[in-house]
Chains A and B, each alone.
With several copies, the nearest count.
Chain A
Amino acid sequence: MLRKVLVANRGEIALRIVRACRELGIGSVAIFSEADRESTHVRVADEAFCVGPGPVPRSYLNVPNIISAALVSGCDAIHPGYGFLAENARFAEICADHGLKFIGPRPEIIMAMGDKATAKRVMAEAGVATTPGTDILATVELAREAAESVGYPVLLKATAGGGGKGMRVVERPEDLERAFLGATAEAEASFKDGRVYMEKLIRDPRHIEVQVLADEHGEVVHLGERDCSIQKPSHQKLIEEAGAPNLSERARARLHEMAVLACRHVGYSNAGTLEFLSSGDEVFFMEMNTRIQVEHPVTEMVYGIDLVKEQIRIASGEPLGYTQRDLEPRGHAIECRINAEDARNNFAPQAGKLGAVIFPGGPGIRIDTHIFSGASVPPYYDSMLAKVIAFANTREQAIARMERALRETLVEGVATTTEMCLEVLGTEGYRSGVYDIGFLPRLLAQRVG
């Protein structure tokens, strides 16, 4: 087993990883920026090193200081969490160069999955259904030909993309040129990589993803799916659940099977998530996240498996020790993200000093948070303050439980998404389980209109 892990992250996920280390009897070393000196992950870890000032490039992306902290504190591994350096293949290589085990898949897999076009090609080779589309399109002319063959409406996407940057919907041939040039320019500006590719636009899809775990000895299991279709207009997830409601057993089985197939094909190891778009009974591979996800707790609740502990065990070289047959989901889990955001103002992020903070508890409620009464919310980072997770035997009970939990939640000092989550949970659409990624944007548009 690994002896001591540097946690190269902050906030709730850093705390989450420290907790897993503790429960495994492994040492933990936190890093923090000057803005996070009082944060919970710093208080709770065995040791903590300041790695730079508040702004992310100077602290949480300060690779030399992070690696140096790991070395001087005698760590033998680094857990990157999500965001920051989690999907940076070069960072994974640097860890290896310094004799530090990067807790995640091999660098070449991070690299391959980080390039969306490559990822899609690899998955198609593995027999995974992908959205009809193309490889990199060098010119408008090639894009025009491709669009005719794929069939309008199409989506232009940056290969280095994320967060909707460098993405354009093209409904008609006459809009193609402008969209192509716009997407290329935006991708160039955002990622210093202007290459774009094309996909068939799936209308009103659901975002369904499959959690996988793979050890370093070739054993691969899936831990079912999550529905993450409740997304802000920026495509950031707000509410997730496991399992996905109103999914046919056929589609569900196919998703699980494809996820395992894909991991075996690429020789994947550690935790990962395959994201799919689903429409009716059709599913299309979208991308693979080669790290732990924000929404991993809903899977943990229904499978009774601690995914972060499993990540560490796998990185230690241990075999999974169970097979797919040993895994059986039980009950239903929902996660609501409590973000420091003003939902009335386009989810504008909030910062400042918090007043009273009281989280709910009681049966079936799990709280993952780094904040507390009087804590500071620095302006530099992701706005997520907490995850409230509700678990119950049925989806209906989990919704009722989440509603009562959110009504108890008190976070003073900043605007939060608590009320927005409650509003979603109260809709007929959410309660029936029939919703897609356009659900929240439509709800918001109705409120304005």
Chain B
Amino acid sequence: MTPEHPSEDEPSARAQRLAEFFVNTPLLRMRIEREDEEFELARSSLAPVGRTSEAAAVAEPSAKRAVDILRADVVGILRFGRSEPTLGEEVAEERELAAIEALGIRTSVRARSAGRLTAILCQDGAAVDYGRALFEIERG
């Protein structure tokens, strides 16, 4: 190998670009094969379990926009109400978006402020644990 400055076309530079791309994906492993080279990127399986990528995805915009993340504060089964929340709809403060059923008790999940429902991060009937992100509301 000749010790030159790495150009944009060199494998190391390409690997770096790929790595930068890869860390921003939710993928655990990515493998690219071309005629003369191979790249394999893998995320450490020691990364925090569960909602890491989701948490990162929803946490970032809140810095720029005025966003509320509604999280589960009990462990149970999530139930949407009769009026199922719709992505993009305007919600009033205190609007009940869903409820969590646990041990026969129903805990409401309510909008903390009026705004637009910009993400639904959960499914009707799913088991949710403490701190699980459920809805994202951009405050109006």
Most B CB contacts (10 A, CB to CB) among A48, A65, A71, A73 go to A65
- Report which of A43, A49, A356, A372 forms a contact with B129, defined as CB distance below 8 A: A49
Q: Does residue B45 face the partner (Cβ distance < 8 Å to A)?
A: yes
- A73 CA / B45 CA spacing, docked (Å): 23
Complex contact B129–A37 (CB within 8 A): no
- A34 CA / B131 CA spacing, docked (Å): 8
Complex contact B46–A410 (CB within 8 A): yes
Complex contact A98–B129 (CB within 8 A): no
Distance (whole angstroms) from the CB of B7 to the closest CB of chain A = 25
Dominant SS among interface residues on chain A: mixed
Distance (whole angstroms) from the CB of B37 to the closest CB of chain A = 15
Complex contact A51–B49 (CB within 8 A): no
Complex contact B50–A65 (CB within 8 A): no
Q: Mark A37-69, 1 if CB is under 8 A from B, else 0.
A: 110001100001111110000010000111111
Chain A residues near B (Cβ < 8 Å): 34, 37-38, 42-43, 48-53, 59, 64-69, 71-73, 98, 355-356, 358, 372, 374, 410, 412
The residue of chain B having its C-beta at the shortest distance from the C-beta of A410 within the complex is: B45
- Report which of A34, A68, A355, A356 forms a contact with B75, defined as CB distance below 8 A: A68
Complex contact B103–A51 (CB within 8 A): no
A50-B131, A71-B103, A72-B127 known; A65+B74 contact, CB < 8 A: yes
Distance (whole angstroms) from the CB of A37 to the closest CB of chain B = 5
Q: Mark B37-70, 1 if CB is under 8 A from A, else 0.
A: 0000010111011100000000000000000000
Chain B residues near A (Cβ < 8 Å): 42, 44-46, 48-50, 74-77, 102-103, 105, 127, 129-132
Complex contact A68–B49 (CB within 8 A): no
Complex contact A51–B130 (CB within 8 A): yes
17 contacts between A and B (CB under 8 A): A34-B131, A42-B49, A48-B49, A50-B129, A50-B131, A51-B129, A51-B130, A64-B75, A65-B102, A68-B76, A71-B102, A71-B103, A72-B77, A98-B103, A355-B44, A374-B46, A410-B45
Complex contact B127–A50 (CB within 8 A): no
Complex contact B48–A37 (CB within 8 A): yes
- Report which of A38, A49, A53, A72 forms a contact with B48, defined as CB distance below 8 A: A38
Find chain A residues with CB under 8 A from B44 CB. 355-356, 412
- Report which of A52, A67, A71, A372 forms a contact with B130, defined as CB distance below 8 A: A52
The residue of chain B having its C-beta at the shortest distance from the C-beta of A374 within the complex is: B46
Find chain A residues with CB under 8 A from B45 CB. 43, 356, 410, 412
